[in-house]
Structure 1
Amino acid sequence: MPGPADRRAGRATAARTRIIAWVLLLVLASLAVVTLVTWLLLINETDKRIDTALTSEIAEFARVTETGINPTTGEPYDSVDEILRSVIAANLARPNEKFLGYLDGDFRWESRRLSPTVLLRDDRRFTDMVGSVTRRAEGSYATDAGEVRWAALPVGLAGDPRRGVIVVGYFAEQEHEFANEAARLMLLVGFGTSLLTAGAAWLVAGRILRPLRDVAATARTITGTDLSRRVPQRGSEPTDEIAQLARTLNAMLDRVQSGVLAQRRFVDDAGHELRTPITIVRGHLGVVDPHDPDDVRDTVELVDDELERMNRLVSDMLSLTRAEQVTLLRPEMVDVAELTRDLFDKLTALADRDWHLESLAHARIRMDRQRITQAVIALADNATRFTGPGDRIALGSELAAGDLRIWVADSGPGVEPSERRRVFRRFARGDSGPRSEGAGLGLSIVEAIATTHGGRVQLESTPGHGATFTLVLPGGTG
């Protein structure tokens, strides 16, 4: 049985075959149309030339016969028969052209150039049709050699009772042979060109389909444990559909990977952090004495406290997971000065501190107002944990170097240089100041909110002289 590689190769070949089939179909259809139109134009031009020649020949015969003088001898004609003989003998017929003379309805004279396929003089039906016309006439007649286009001129002479007819005939099929040969040559050349086009289309189709094969190959390598592969981008032009497809798929894979990694981190964090309180709860429930009311009450209080801690932990982890998802943002145009004043009003109710509003940024910036509020409140709450009643905490905002900066500064113990990166890690707690009761996710959530807005969190601190946490956001998001 064919393996996966064989099936993929078969699908690729089938796609290339379909492309080539459509290309050939279009080429052959175009060739057929061009050949047909060219052939019809040549046929039409040939027919016009025949009609012009017939008209010209008949006019020339009429001019010669109407004078009644033999142009060869300069003497008057003696009979109608002489007129027919001299006129037909004096004019050389072109290829595929025939001059015939009829006297009293019977064939009498013929031009020296003979038709290679048919003799009109022996065709009694043609003779009956043209031999007795009484005025100029023209028409078409079907023979074994094809269509014959003819024109007839009656001839008479005073004193001679006999009636003559001069006929000019053109074998149209033979005249059309040039057009037919041109059409055959065009078809032959077109067929050869189509073969070359098919070969070129096979190569071009392979190059066109190569990015699609890259997409399929990349998709096959993506698994639940490895989402790092991306589709190679071979085009750079904004209008390149294949490059746009690759960029779109890669962006989708980025979102999928971000979501999956967030879910994995949530599960890992939940498993890591919830294991301890669950162990504590199970341990105390396993040794509780149901007959001792005090033991039962103490155990219930302990279990309730651990459950409350688990609830806060899960809420913080959910907040962090949501903060990391760009697709969950709800951006809007926000008046930064108004937002800063609203934040200050909310922060003053957190704790008994010496709150200060240092500055206001007068600008309108596109952001998720609720998420930024959540981040600033988390920074202020963190500041209250490391300060005491009456200590100074300041809030401010400004536009600097094209960025929006919103900061919370406190007069607490500050952060040691070695701790400045660690405090943003999940479940990390600063060593300075009182021990926090939180899960250690507050600053991680703040950093995630800043990152999803395209910004960052900046920490400036001098140990013993407080710390300043600043949200640095793009000032041009609006």
Structure 2
Amino acid sequence: MTVGANESANRRDFLTKKAKEKRTIRERGFLWETRNRIFAWYGILMTGFIGISVPIFSELVFNRVDTRVREDLVEELETFESFVAQRSSDSDTFTEGDLKKIFQEFLYRQIPEDDTFLITFLNGRFYRSSPRGRPELLQEESELMRRWAKLTKKEQGEEKTSDPELGNILYLATPVIIDGQARGALVIAHTTAGEIQEATEVIIIVCYVLLVGLVLALILAWAASGKILVPLRSIASTARLISESNLNKRIPVQSSGEMGELATTFNKMLDRLQAALTTQKAFINDAGHELRTPIAIVRGHLELIGDDPQEQRETIELVIDELDRMNRIVDDLILLAKSERPDCLQLETIDISLLTQELYTKATALADRNWQLDAQATGLIVGDRQRLTQAVMNLTENAVQYTTETDTIAIGTAIGSNYVRLWVRDTGVGIAECDRERIFERFARASNSRRRSDGSGLGLSIVKAIAQAHGGRVELVSQLGIGSTFTLVLPLEPPQEKFRRK
């Protein structure tokens, strides 16, 4: 009944959050949502592109039409001049009658293009044209025709009109010279209304196509933007389902691109948060358990303390001892917390040979054991001398607790090309294989533990944290009944120092 009530409450909270988010989106406006903004920008860019493209396209089409018409006029004129040159070379004399025959034969043979007019003049008067039907502006009595009839040199131009069915008139005119005088003329005229209409129809069709394309592009952009943003919605919905008590949700990775990378990064972040939360919970539980015992002891003895001075003295000594143990636990916890910060180390250049001798000297004072110095490396390393000493001494104290007076404890160092190794070896009880990973956890105890001290259970955790802070690791080789070897494998130069030098 309680589980069902919790599920209903969670569902109700989720729906309430969803409703609040929708209301917030409505309050922020249409363009606040990413999909709408992408769609709006895409629409603006596409519309602007079409708005710029249509005038440019229109100008290019009209210029192309004008160029083609002028080229046709030049081609017609070259044909006429070639025809006149051929006919004039056939006879020794070239008379006015010959010119009439030339005009007649040329107009008969040459079929003009649509809206093109071949107009001939003889002795300052209109003679013939092809085709015969001409617009009003090209009638015999018009001012333009009278001007062409008096041509004495080549002329090319454009006559503007107000007639939309006629358009402007592009023309190319050349006189025919006989005995040094202009006896006739040929005018090739073209009205532009037809080309303009055809070009306009083409532009209209292109505009329709572009508009249809714009609509289809916007529809596809709306659908594509929705599909692209699916991982973002998935992230948002997953984030809404995540709470401090539930970090199990993950986003499905469906691509290897930016969205896939985003989903992968988000999932890794959740993994780290879940691991941190799990560690935090375990740490709080273990720390509470470890601190609860000395607190209970202190409180129990203080509540039962009597008036006897001897009893009071013994109780005070016991209380002070428990408070010291609690203080050690707190100090160790603070050290572990600091070890996760990038500035936890005070790096310096260390002579490994002198450090090895110092470690060995300090270790021999801990207890009566068969102490040995396995190896003493020579060279310089970069590290935090105090933290390295603390790590090795923690390993040494751990070895003392698992050995007897007849057992051997050895310390040694060695330098390779990239790493330095510091180890503590003992011939004690050894560590079971199932405990070799767990003993580095906070407050962990080996299953076969026969510890002779009431330490905090944080020693090996501190060793591991110091090694990781130096960019290294801790290696363990152990066998039950034979002994254990703990080795710090550290780079000669920690990552923090390399980064600082760069």
TM-score, normalized by length of structure 2? 0.71
1:146 match: secondary structure: coil
Q: Distance in 1 between matches of 2:136 and 2:294?
A: 114
**Is 1:55 aligned to 2:74, yes or no?**
yes
Structure 2 counterparts to residues 25-36 of structure 1, below 5 A: 25-27=44-46
Aligned-residue offset at 1:379: 0.8
1:94 match: secondary structure: coil
TM-aligned CA distance change 1:204 to 1:424, over 3 Å:
same
Give the AA of the match of 1:124.
S
The Cα offsets for residues 319-344 of structure 1, whole Å up to 9 and x where unpaired, read as 34445x48677699999xx6476245
1:242 match: secondary structure: helix
Length, aligned pairs only = 465
Q: Distance in 2 between matches of 1:221 and 1:334?
A: 50
**Is 1:146 aligned to 2:160, yes or no?**
no
**Is 1:461 aligned to 2:479, yes or no?**
yes
Q: Distance in 2 between matches of 1:375 and 1:3?
A: 55
**Is 1:166 aligned to 2:182, yes or no?**
no
Q: Distance in 2 between matches of 1:230 and 1:454?
A: 31
Q: Distance in 1 between matches of 2:437 and 2:100?
A: 125
**Is 1:407 aligned to 2:423, yes or no?**
yes
| CA RMSD, Structure 1 to Structure 2 (Å) | 4.9
Look up the match of 1:111. Answer: 130
Look up the match of 2:119. Answer: 100
Look up the match of 1:219. Answer: 239
Give the AA of the match of 1:217.
S
Q: Distance in 2 between matches of 1:178 and 1:331?
A: 85
**Is 1:272 aligned to 2:292, yes or no?**
no
Q: 402-411 or 434-443, which moves further after superposition?
A: 402-411
Look up the match of 2:13. Answer: none
Give the AA of the match of 1:241.
E
Aligned-residue offset at 1:147: 2.0
TM-aligned CA distance change 1:266 to 1:327, over 3 Å:
farther
Aligned-residue offset at 1:380: 0.9
The Cα offsets for residues 127-178 of structure 1, whole Å up to 9 and x where unpaired, read as 455444332211111121222111222356679x996543211123423555
Give the AA of the match of 2:160.
A
Identify the match of residue 308 of structure 1 among 299, 321, 324.
Answer: 324
Give the AA of the match of 2:174.
L
Q: What stretches of structure 2 of length at least 5 have no aligned partner?
A: 1-15, 496-502
1:227 match: secondary structure: coil
Identify the match of residue 399 of structure 2 among 345, 364, 383.
Answer: 383
1:231 match: secondary structure: coil
Q: 352-361 or 207-216, which moves further after superposition?
A: 352-361
1:348 match: secondary structure: helix
**Is 1:207 aligned to 2:207, yes or no?**
no
Q: Distance in 1 between matches of 2:321 and 2:141?
A: 124
Give the AA of the match of 1:137.
E
Q: 29-38 or 170-179, which moves further after superposition?
A: 29-38
- Contact between 1:446 and 1:457, CA under 8 Å: does it hold in 2? no
Aligned-residue offset at 1:243: 3.0
Look up the match of 2:461. Answer: 444
TM-aligned CA distance change 1:469 to 1:91, over 3 Å:
closer
Q: What stretches of structure 1 of length at least 5 have no aligned partner?
A: none
Q: Distance in 1 between matches of 2:62 and 2:478?
A: 92
Identity of aligned residues (%): 34
Aligned-residue offset at 1:235: 3.1
Q: Distance in 2 between matches of 1:418 and 1:254?
A: 25
**Is 1:392 aligned to 2:408, yes or no?**
yes
TM-aligned CA distance change 1:355 to 1:404, over 3 Å:
same
Identify the match of residue 318 of structure 1 among 328, 334, 337.
Answer: 334
